[in-house]
Every structure is written in structure tokens, then in C-alpha cells.
């Protein structure tokens, strides 16, 4: 049995914000009718969270659920549990029109933390990241320079960023450049 | 720079995270249709100064198509709605009429 390893194996960088690759994170893409009670129960059983509303991210640590589109959720679970949780979800949804797939190894997850975390993300994504417009509990899917990515805030100074694993090195370098010492803009 | 409100997520999307799909509300003419109808479907496009309806895809995001009603002259955006809509919703028609009385675009007015 080979040992699973994340895209950049906990690489980190300290600048105006701390950028870390979070390591292995269990991720399940769940598509279906989000108003469906069976789906809501499957999400509750897997994560302890309700089905998030539009653009909501209900995440505690490495467990939670994010709203990805009107018919798609991203279920976050511990990496070691992902197969068991996936089987539970798939079993619960066997009678409904829905799809659950393990995408843990297809993605990379970063954490950007520090008082300037907003600045770092604000340089890379065409999104209004002012505290009035973007708060913990919200998720936004957008682009990070030239690749697709999603991010949410764990608290007022911490972002979690998800991108495709194939773009992990690119995104880490982007975040490093955006977090260079002395590159504070002071906009937010 | 164009900023469009996504009708699915409510987020304000920047032009750079979108992909334009050309003219909206095209009516498909398939096998058995007349050559004129197929030619219209395939080749004939509006190229307006003023009110225009376009398809847009949130390519770097949720990956869904929507339609934007906007003005090519003033760059004003009248509204957006899901691409599954066959006719512009009444509130968007009203918004256009308020700014451009007597407008028409293909079969809509």
C-alpha cells in the first residue's frame, strides 16, 4: 500500500501573511437537489452540519460543508475517514438522483493567515474582499491569477484556499509572491 | 471592466472570471428545417448599438451559463437571469423600457 501524500507536503512560507499547504484533506463532491431531505440528512450525518445556504461555508477544522453551486456541495471530512463517509453518503442517497465522489486527491488546500491575509487574496482574485463584503462563513469560487480556486474564511484573519492539485505549485508560488515582506498595500 | 451579478450565486463577477458565449436566445433549427431558418440559426447575429442579450459562463467558478441584458453603448447592465430562460423576465424588460423606451431586439420588445 502506498503512502498518501499531499501535493506540496506541508510547504509553508512566512511573509506579510503565513502561507501553508494544509496537507491531506478529505473532500467529497456532492451533487443533487440541495432541498432534498435525504440529502440534508446525509450531510448532517457526515459532518454534523446543515445544508449551507447560498455562498455559505460551514466548516470547523477539517470537517464541514461548503456551498459550491445551486446543485453542488463540497463535503469536508478527515482524510482517513473519506472512504467510509463516502460509502455512507452514497448508501443514504442510493434512491435519489444524486452523485457523491471522492475528490480528496484531486485538490490541494492552503491556509493563508495573519492580519494581512485579506491583502494576499485580494491581490490574486477579482473579488471584493473588504470586511463589509466578505466575512467568515462565506465561500467564493473565482480565479487566483490564471487558475480556478475557491476560498473561505475560517476566522477574521484566516483564509482556506482550495485549488486543483495540478495547479498546487502555481498557487503556492502565487501566494508566496503576494505575501512577500514589504508588499502590504493597506487597502482593507 | 464589465461586472455582472450571477443569478445563481448572487455574487458580483468580474469579466475576467467569465467567458462570453455570444448572442443569447438563439432558436435552434435542426434536421428538416428550411435552409433559411438554419442559416439564421447558424450565421445571422445581432450586432447592436444599444440593448443586447448575451450568454455568459462563470468559467472560473460554478460553471453555469446565464444571460446578461446590457447596453453596448452605455455599458449599463439591465440584469442577469439563468440561461434556461426562453424569454427575458418582465422585470428586466421593464428596466430596459425605463432607459430605452420603444426598444426591440429580435422578437422581444
Whether A124 is in a domain gets the answer yes
Whether A186 is in a domain gets the answer no
Q: What CATH number is attached to the domain comprising A19?
A: 3.30.1360.120
- How many domains are there within chain A? 1
Whether A187 is in a domain gets the answer no
Q: Which of B15, B61, B81 to mutate to test the interface with A (most CBs of A within 10 A)?
A: B61
Calpha distance A6→A10 (Å, rounded)? 8
| Confidence check: pLDDT of B88 > 90 | yes
CA angle A144, A146, A152 (to 5 degrees): 15
Supply the range of the domain harboring residue A50.
Answer: 12-178
Calpha distance B38→B19 (Å, rounded)? 25
Weakly modelled stretches of chain A, pLDDT under 70: 1
Calpha distance B72→B49 (Å, rounded)? 6
Task: For residue A138, give Cα distances in angstroms to A141, A161, A176, B33, B99.
Answer: 10, 12, 24, 49, 35
Q: Cell 440593448, residue?
A: B51
- Residue of A69, A42, A60 lying closest to A140 (CA atoms): A69
Contact A143 B17 (CB under 8 A): yes
Q: What is the DSSP string of A70-131?
A: TTEEEEEE-GGGHHHHHHHHHHHTTTSS-EEEE-GGGEEEEEEESTTHHHHHHTTSSS--ST
Order of all β-strands in the sheet with B77-82: B19-23, B51-57, B65-71, B77-82
Residue B58 corresponds to which cell in the numbers above? 462563470
Whether A4 is in a domain gets the answer no
Whether A154 is in a domain gets the answer yes
- Domains of chain B: residue spans and CATH: 3-99 (3.30.2270.10)
CA angle B47, B67, A69 (to 5 degrees): 150
Alpha helices in chain B (DSSP H): 35-42, 90-99
Question: How many Å lie between the alpha carbon of B46 and the closest alpha carbon of chain A?
Answer: 30
pLDDT in the model for residue B74: 93
Identify the DSSP state of B86. S
Residue B6 corresponds to which cell in the numbers above? 450571477
Judge whether A115 and A131 are in contact, CB under 8 Å.
no
Question: How many Å lie between the alpha carbon of A132 and the closest alpha carbon of chain B?
Answer: 14
Question: How many Å lie between the alpha carbon of A160 and the closest alpha carbon of chain B?
Answer: 16
**Predicted complex ipTM:** 0.87
Contact B60 A140 (CB under 8 A): no
Q: Scanning every residue of chain A, which has its alpha carbon at the shortest distance from the alpha carbon of B65?
A: A69
Residue A8 corresponds to which cell in the numbers above? 506540496
Whether A5 is in a domain gets the answer no
Q: Residue B97: what are its φ and ψ, rounded to 5°?
A: -60, -35
pLDDT in the model for residue A1: 67
Whether A115 is in a domain gets the answer yes
Residues of B in contact with A135 (CB under 8 A): none
pLDDT in the model for residue A174: 97
Amino acid at each position: 500500500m502506498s503512502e498518501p501524500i499531499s501535493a506540496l507536503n506541508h510547504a509553508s512560507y512566512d511573509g506579510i501573511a503565513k502561507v501553508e499547504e494544509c496537507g491531506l484533506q478529505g473532500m467529497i463532491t456532492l451533487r443533487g437537489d440541495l432541498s432534498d431531505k435525504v440529502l440534508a440528512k446525509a450531510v448532517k450525518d457526515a459532518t454534523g452540519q446543515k445544508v449551507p445556504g447560498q455562498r455559505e461555508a460551514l466548516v470547523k477544522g477539517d470537517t464541514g460543508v461548503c456551498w459550491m453551486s445551486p446543485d453542488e456541495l463540497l463535503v469536508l471530512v478527515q482524510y482517513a475517514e473519506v472512504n467510509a463517509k463516502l460509502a455512507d453518503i452514497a448508501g443514504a442517497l442510493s434512491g435519489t438522483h444524486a452523485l457523491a465522489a471522492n475528490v480528496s486527491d484531486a485538490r490541494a488546500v492552503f491556509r493563508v493567515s495573519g492580519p494581512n491575509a485579506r491583502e494576499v487574496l485580494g491581490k490574486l482574485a477579482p473579488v471584493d474582499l473588504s470586511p463589509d463584503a466578505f466575512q467568515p462563513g462565506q465561500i467564493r469560487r473565482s480565479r487566483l491569477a490564471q487558475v480556478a480556486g475557491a476560498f473561505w474564511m475560517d476566522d477574521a484573519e484566516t483564509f482556506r484556499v482550495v485549488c486543483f492539485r495540478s495547479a498546487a505549485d502555481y498557487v503556492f508560488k502565487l501566494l508566496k509572491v503576494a505575501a512577500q515582506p514589504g508588499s502590504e498595500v493597506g487597502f482593507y | 471592466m464589465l461586472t455582472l451579478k450571477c443569478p445563481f450565486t448572487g455574487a458580483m463577477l468580474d469579466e475576467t472570471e467569465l467567458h462570453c458565449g455570444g448572442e443569447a436566445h438563439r432558436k435552434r433549427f435542426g434536421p428538416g428545417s428550411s435552409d433559411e431558418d438554419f442559416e439564421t440559426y447558424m450565421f445571422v447575429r445581432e450586432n447592436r448599438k444599444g440593448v443586447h442579450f448575451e450568454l455568459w459562463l462563470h468559467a472560473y467558478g460554478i460553471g453555469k451559463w446565464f444571460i446578461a441584458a446590457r447596453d453596448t453603448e452605455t455599458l449599463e447592465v439591465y440584469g442577469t437571469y439563468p440561461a434556461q430562460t426562453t424569454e427575458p423576465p418582465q422585470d428586466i424588460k421593464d428596466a430596459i423600457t425605463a432607459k430605452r423606451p420603444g426598444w426591440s431586439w429580435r422578437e422581444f420588445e
